[in-house]
Amino acid sequence: MSRNVPSDPAAQAITRRNRKVALIVVAVFFGMVGAAYASIPLYRAFCQATGFDGTVSRAKVAPKATLEKTVTVRFDANTRDLPWDFTAEQTAQDVKLGETKLAFFKVVNTSDKPVTARATFNVVPEQAGPYFKKLQCFCFSDQTIGPKQTVEMPVLYFIDPKYADDFETRTKAEVTLSYTFYPATDVPATPAPKG
């Protein structure tokens, strides 16, 4: 079976151009679909790298210098669509810039089955995001809490001394660290520590 190929050179040029346009449209379509799937992890990586929108970043080591300037860190705990009671065990801590502090949160699974959830987090004011650093946090992985289980979750953090030099943050004496747990649906769970 032979294909109908126009013998007219002008018609052949139009056919080639139409095929080229069709290939470009298909390539753009798949490129846009790929960009849509990549946008969430790329946005998350951008926010963690820059502190954009109050996103807190992970640190490997604490700073060596500690300043006398202190900031009050307040803690906020929330859940969405979960049978959990999630609370901060302290409402606030005074922390010197560069000082490593430990805060605790408590989760009680009030249901009769294990529940896996993921915590999102941010700080307010948003300008504090690049300077608020976590060394250890339950928010780095999904958490599975057994039925009627109570778990204590630590957060080890510091505020970078550069906070005192930034004109947008140097006058801010208070930072709120907020967590919200959501049901996890797509990633295998990491069991929560016993507590």
- Claim to verify: residue 60 and residue 45 sit in the same structural domain: no
Closest CA to 69 of 186, 146, 193, 175: 175
pLDDT tens for 109-140 read 999 999 999 998 889 999 998 999 999 999 87
Answer yes or no: is pLDDT of 90 > 70.
yes
pLDDT tens for 92-106 read 999 999 999 999 999
pLDDT tens for 156-173 read 999 999 999 999 999 999
DSSP secondary structure letter of residue 194: P
Instruction: Report the C-alpha gap between 152 and 162 in whole angstroms.
Output: 31
Q: 187 falls in which pLDDT band (50, 70, 90)?
A: very low
- Claim to verify: residue 27 and residue 109 sit in the same structural domain: no
Instruction: Report the C-alpha gap between 184 and 119 in whole angstroms.
Output: 9
DSSP secondary structure letter of residue 161: G
> What are residue 115's DSSP bridge partners?
145
Which pTM value belongs to this model? 0.67
Both structure tokens of 162? 């550069």
Q: Is residue 174 a contact partner of residue 71, using CB atoms and an 8 Å limit?
A: yes
Domain that residue 44 falls in = 1-50
- Claim to verify: residue 61 and residue 112 sit in the same structural domain: yes
Distance in Å from the first CA to the final CA of the chain: 74
